[in-house]
Chain A
Amino acid sequence: MRATVTVMLKQGVLDPQGEAVRHALGALGFEGVSGVRQGKVIELDLADGTTEGQIREMCEKLLANTVIESYLIAIS
């Protein structure tokens, strides 16, 4: 089985990299881009039967720093 974890900076935490991308899009002439947030996608190949609880633990312990980041788990 595979799980995809999306890690993003929490709302309210300024994302300088996202801001730089937003400026670059504006400079390229793309209008109306009011916000860009950049995060990471982590794909996990897992033994069948791994529970969402276990994946959540992986996120809490290592994959995300929950002081500043939120995460989303999608299992396929």
Chain B
Amino acid sequence: MKAAVLVFPGSNCDRDLKRAFEQVGFSVDMVWHKDTNLPDGVDLVGVPGGFSYGDYLRCGAIAAQSPISGALKSHAARGGYVFGVCNGFQILTETQLLPGALLQNMSTRYICKPVGLRVENTDSAFTSAYAQGAVITVPIAHHEGNYQADPETLARLNGEGRVAFRYVENPNGAVEDIAGILSENRRILGMMPHPERAAEPLHGGTDGAALFAGLAQALVAA
């Protein structure tokens, strides 16, 4: 099982994500944003949190145009798995691999705290190790986590069971409490909360670990 974690100038959760992937058995390559290719045979690409390109223009906008972005899109088009966390989620919406956009938090403040998430759909490699409706605690750390999409997109996401996680108590104004969404083929997940920061006892919580375990299980079976 091979994973790659993309590294942009300003990424700061890249090594956390690498470690979370490694803990469940992936061999992980770090891939610099100026590269134009992913290593051969990569099953999963992680797009980490942080402040890629200093959040200039819009969060994720410049990263979405960086050289590695083309390889990311081809990987997704081949049906490869992609996992975007926080700034990674913002990058996935800017590349249009996921619909909608992430706006500034309603409070205009940066929020860093553990939040409750409800697992809305277990029909994906990312969520299969959770029980439907389970409430887990995972930290958020963002200023632009307010997910918005037009009514047609929301209807599709809901109708196709593509909302993976919702906030139990909405911290940022996200429409319909949405915290994470899946792509049409269910192989791309973008979420604002950080499961890689709740994956080992030392983190103070391990509710995020099942996400990585589920991914590993799905890819071993494949």
The interface of chain A, by Cβ under 8 A from chain B, is: 9, 13-14, 16-17, 20, 61-63, 65, 67-68
Contacts and interface: CB of A to CB of B under 8 A. Distances in A.
Given A61-B65, A65-B58, A65-B94, A16 B148 contact: no
The 4 closest A-B pairs by CB, nearest first: A68-B101, A67-B101, A16-B108, A20-B108
Interface in B134-178: 146, 148-150, 173
Interface string B111-152: 000000000000000000000000000000000001011100
Interface string B58-97: 1001000100000000000000000000000000011000
User: How many B residues touch the partner, as a band?
Assistant: 20 to 34
Contacts, number: 35
Given A16-B146, A62-B57, 5 more contacts: A13-B148, A17-B108, A67-B100, A67-B150, A68-B148
Contact of B103 (A13, A20, A61, A63): A13
Interface of B: 57-58, 61, 65, 93-94, 99-101, 103-108, 146, 148-150, 173
A62 B61 contact: yes
Contacts of B150: 67
A16 B57 contact: no
A14 B173 contact: yes
A16 B100 contact: no
Most chain B beta carbons < 10 A, residue from A13, A20, A62, A67: A67
A17 B108 CA distance: 6
B65 A62 contact: yes
Nearest to A67: B101
Given A67-B101, A68-B103, A16 B173 contact: yes
